[in-house]
């Protein structure tokens, strides 16, 4: 299945049914009068977040969604049937933007969350509605109200606990394959990862978290260099970032600064997330070189730097348990805050 995280679609709710002009004509019933029924309501356009989808690829082939018109009214004061709603299922984490790609209309970030984006038009009144003391036989009925229509952009932001960031060839895909059951493409050239990858990390039957790997960033990614910073949106919802740095690089501090600058240029909130630094590929260096580069990174970042190797699995368990402990505490804090929250 191909990965698609952006799509533009057209949606239109149904028009309301027309009201009817009719009169009651039955034998032995005098002065039957008007009995035209109202029109039915047009169908709504509804979006729903479901957990069995992780891409917007379906919207590449189906881009127009139109709900049906409500049924027209009829004689004997019969109201027309309402049209069926159209429910568009999208992955959890999908955001709906207006055509300008800036106005956020909805954020479907929870399973089962629904939003009525376009409401169907109301049905028109039949001529019974217009009967009065001065107009005993109205020959007028309303047309149904038109539905709503618009072009919208769908943008998917994956829901994960930890986001993997780093320069190309930092070993992110290898780390993801070692830490989880995911099987991303791994090769000895840059940009082997062309779209985000998700992996479930299970350290025990009761402890697990979701890890996402995005395509590598390079200097100037926020200006469109390389694959750009488009995929950074997939780590916006993460509770923390795991920054992997290639230990074989000549200047590991500069490589760390490059990614930090790209994060800050993209979004300040993203740059302020909890960052865990991992010095990867340590199996290719001598102990003296490893300690020297670890010391340089810790002085520049002010944080502890974990030593690990995705190839030999050294240090992988240690950093995964550290991530799990932080995520567990992070989720507990959110639950406590929600319990103590009282709206004014």
Q: Please give the annotated binding residues for Mg(2+), written as ranges.
A: 173, 193
Per DSSP, what are the bridge partners of residue 65? 11
Torsion-angle region of residue 272: left (phi > 0), alpha (psi -120 to 50) or beta?
alpha
* 240, 161 contact by CB (below 8 A): yes
Q: Hey, what are 57's tokens?
A: 């690829």
Question: What is the three-class DSSP state of 122?
Answer: coil
In Å, how far from its chain's centre is CA 283? Answer: 38
Q: Please give the annotated binding residues, written as ranges.
A: 166-173, 191-195, 213-216, 280-283, 309-311
Separation between Cα atoms, residue 281 and residue 226, nearest integer Å: 23
Residue whose pair of structure tokens reads 């606990």 in the numeric block: 161
CA atoms within 13 A on the CB side of 99: 6
* 41, 82 contact by CB (below 8 A): yes
Instruction: Report the first-to-last Cα separation within the chain, whole angstroms.
Output: 47
Q: Please give the annotated binding residues for GTP, written as ranges.
A: 166-173, 191-195, 213-216, 280-283, 309-311
């Amino acid at each position: 299945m191909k990965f698609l995280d952006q799509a533009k679609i057209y949606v239109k709710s149904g028009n309301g049914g027309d009201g009817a002009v009719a009169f009651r004509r039955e034998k032995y019933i005098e002065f039957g009068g008007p009995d035209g029924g109202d029109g039915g309501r047009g169908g709504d356009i509804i979006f729903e977040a479901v957990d069995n989808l992780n891409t917007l690829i379906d919207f590449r082939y189906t881009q127009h969604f139109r709900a049906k018109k409500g049924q027209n009214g009829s004689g004997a004061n019969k109201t027309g049937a309402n049209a069926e709603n159209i429910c568009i299922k999208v992955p959890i984490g999908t955001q709906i933007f207006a055509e300008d790609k800036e106005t956020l209309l909805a954020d479907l970030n929870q399973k089962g969350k629904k939003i009525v984006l376009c409401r169907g038009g109301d049905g028109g009144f039949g001529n019974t509605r217009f009967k009065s003391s001065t107009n005993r036989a109205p020959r007028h009925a309303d047309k149904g109200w038109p539905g709503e229509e618009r072009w919208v952009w769908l943008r998917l932001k994956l829901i994960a606990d930890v986001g993997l960031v780093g320069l190309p060839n930092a070993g992110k895909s290898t780390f993801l394959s070692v830490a989880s059951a995911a099987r991303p493409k791994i090769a000895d050239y840059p940009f082997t990862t062309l779209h985000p990858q998700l992996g479930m990390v299970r350290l025990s039957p009761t402890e697990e978290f979701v890890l996402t790997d995005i395509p590598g960033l390079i200097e100037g990614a926020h200006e469109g260099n390389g694959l750009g910073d488009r995929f950074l949106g997939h780590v916006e919802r993460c509770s923390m970032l795991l920054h992997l740095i290639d230990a074989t690089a000549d200047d590991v501090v500069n490589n760390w600064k490059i990614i930090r600058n790209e994060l800050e240029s993209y979004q300040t909130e993203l740059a302020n997330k909890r960052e865990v630094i991992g010095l990867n590929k340590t199996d290719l260096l001598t102990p003296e070189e490893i300690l020297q580069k670890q010391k340089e990174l810790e002085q520049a970042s002010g944080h502890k730097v974990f030593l690990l190797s995705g190839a030999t699995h050294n240090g992988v368990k240690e950093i995964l348990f550290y991530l799990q402990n932080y995520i567990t505490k992070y989720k507990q804090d959110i639950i406590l805050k929600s319990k103590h929250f009282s709206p004014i």
